[in-house]
Amino acid sequence: MLRKIIPFALLALLVSGCSENEKAEVTEQLEETVVKEQKGMEKSKEADLSVIDQVVIPTTIEEWKHTEPGLFALDYTLDHETSSWPKDARELSSEEKKQIESVVTATDDTSVMLQALQYYFGSNVYKDLLDKQINYAAVMNEPYLPKPTKEFVAEGNDEKVAPSKAFLLLDASSSMLLSVDGKQKMGIAKIAVKRFAKTLGEDNEVSLYVYGHAGTQEDKDKELSCTQIDEVYPFQSYKEKEFDTTVDAVAAKGWTPLAAAIQTVNSASKDMEGPLTVYIVSDGAETCDGDPIKAAEEFAQDNENRKVNIIGFNVDQKGEDQLKAVAEAGNGEYISANNSEELNNSIAEKWVIPSMTDVVHIKLSGPNGFAVSNAKYSIGQLSLKLNNAVTIESSRFREMIQLLVTEEMITKEQGEELTEMVNQRKDQLLAINKELKTAKDKEVDDEYERIHQNIDAWANEIEKNRAEQ
């Protein structure tokens, strides 16, 4: 108001000593100035509303995903915004009141007022919760299903069975700390080794040796790293829990004593009879000055029941050339795997045929009802948090509306209309959340069904394959 008074006071002062023509000219110029200032003030108000006018009141999952948190709600904690026992909204600061008042005094449109409530006080947890719910994927136990093998071992009456003794050698050198497909090599290799051991079945005896896990890749630790080869899972019947726990504890650290690892297994198996195969998972060549080709040759020398099979995981050309030569010297095979999928699929497909006992075990190892229940429980918890967030946010909006009515910033009728719009918005978001939960629950059911269909189809293929032998 003061800005409006000053120009007119100045006008009176200026025109007091002027002629009539001069007075008219000065008056006209000052009036134009006042009009320009008033238009500028109105334009300023419009500029403020233009930002709020861009706010989208969500009615779809895509719109909800992209809802920005309110400027004055950024300090609300996740617990506050998702509690099953909502707390009252905090007192508004003078700045917050000023901003809300500037909106409701600039417009009578309740739709804009609703946009303002969301712009200033919208929940800050939607993006995170929706992202977790939308991207939730049930992790179910999907057993590895090896294709019918190309390699069999004769054992009396021409019966063809899997090797009964297997030594698994896991490379734990520092290069296994590198990544493939965005995941650490060591983590991928562990999954493959665990699946492989499980595929061998409970009727087979297995052992797990690790090498490269001692010391570091530094020169000062070379001797330690190159001489320590450990049997971390002693030769025995396969026990899934014990084996998996052992594998999980392995850490990649040092050099690559491939030759020493093969020699260690050779010494440990000198007195063993029958088919015996060494399976090596490695991502590189020897780095400890040993001769792995000679070691493999000595292991399989004059004994066709002994083999050294190697899978080279993401190996460079030099390393692959050496590993191929090691496998050849050990009467075995070399398989190249450049990524996690190839590694997981190659070992069992090439080297193992499941027994009927194994088939039954694998069929029973698929996900059960508890896996489905647990997955749906996790989905339900995320959905509940979203429901609570919607309820708390709507309650906050209604409190703001009541404040505006009480302080006579808006009329009672406007308050009622705005409250109804808030309630409709709440119902819309709750409905979207319900649809999302239903869709995620269906994904769980579909995943469960997919896994068991694959298991059944695989079991039928194995049975058919055996019948044709």
Q: Domain map of the chain by residue range? A: 2-52, 61-135+371-468, 153-355
Q: What is the average pLDDT across 309-317?
A: 87
CATH T-level assignment (fold) for domain 153-355: Rossmann fold (3.40.50)
Name the band, by pLDDT with cuts 50, 70 and 90, for residue 468: low
pLDDT tens, position by position, 147-166? 654 443 334 444 444 446 88
Tell me, what's the pLDDT at 347? Answer: 59
Tell me, what's the pLDDT at 359? Answer: 78
Residue 293 has pLDDT above 80, yes or no: yes
Q: Which residue would you say has higher pLDDT here, 113 or 95?
A: 113
Tell me, what's the pLDDT at 19? Answer: 55
Mean pLDDT over each residue of the chain, to the nearest integer: 82
Name the band, by pLDDT with cuts 50, 70 and 90, for residue 1: very low
What percentage of the chain reaches a pLDDT higher than 70?
79
Q: Which residue would you say has higher pLDDT here, 41 or 301?
A: 301
Q: Which residue would you say has higher pLDDT here, 228 or 162?
A: 228
Q: What is the average pLDDT across 406-434?
A: 96
HEC string of the chain equals CHHHHHHHHHHHHHHCCCCHHHHHHHHHHHHHHHHHHHHHHHHHHHHHHHHHCCCCCCCCHHHHHCCCCCCCCCCCCHHHHHCCCCCCCCCCCHHHHHHHHHHHCCCCCHHHHHHHHHHHHCCCCHHHHHHHHHCCCCCCCCCCCCCCCCCCEECCCCCEECCCEEEEEEECEHHHHCEECCEEHHHHHHHHHHHHHHHHCCCCEEEEEEECCCCCCCHHHHHHHHHCEEEEEEEEECCHHHHHHHHHCCCCCECCCHHHHHHHHHHHCCCCCCCEEEEEEECCCCCCCCCHHHHHHHHHCCCCCEEEEEEEECCCHHHHHHHHHHHHHCCCCEEEECCHHHHHHHHHHHHCCCCHHHHHHHHHCCCCHHHHHHHHHHHHHHHHHHHHHHHHHHHHHHHHHHHHHHCCCCCHHHHHHHHHHHHHHHHHHHHHHHHHHHHHHHHHHHHHHHHHHHHHHHHHHHHHHHHHC
Tell me, what's the pLDDT at 3? Answer: 39
Tell me, what's the pLDDT at 21? Answer: 58
- Least reliable range by pLDDT among 172-181, 195-204, 269-278: 195-204
- Least reliable range by pLDDT among 83-87, 156-160, 345-349: 156-160
pLDDT tens, position by position, 97-126? 888 888 988 999 999 999 999 999 999 999
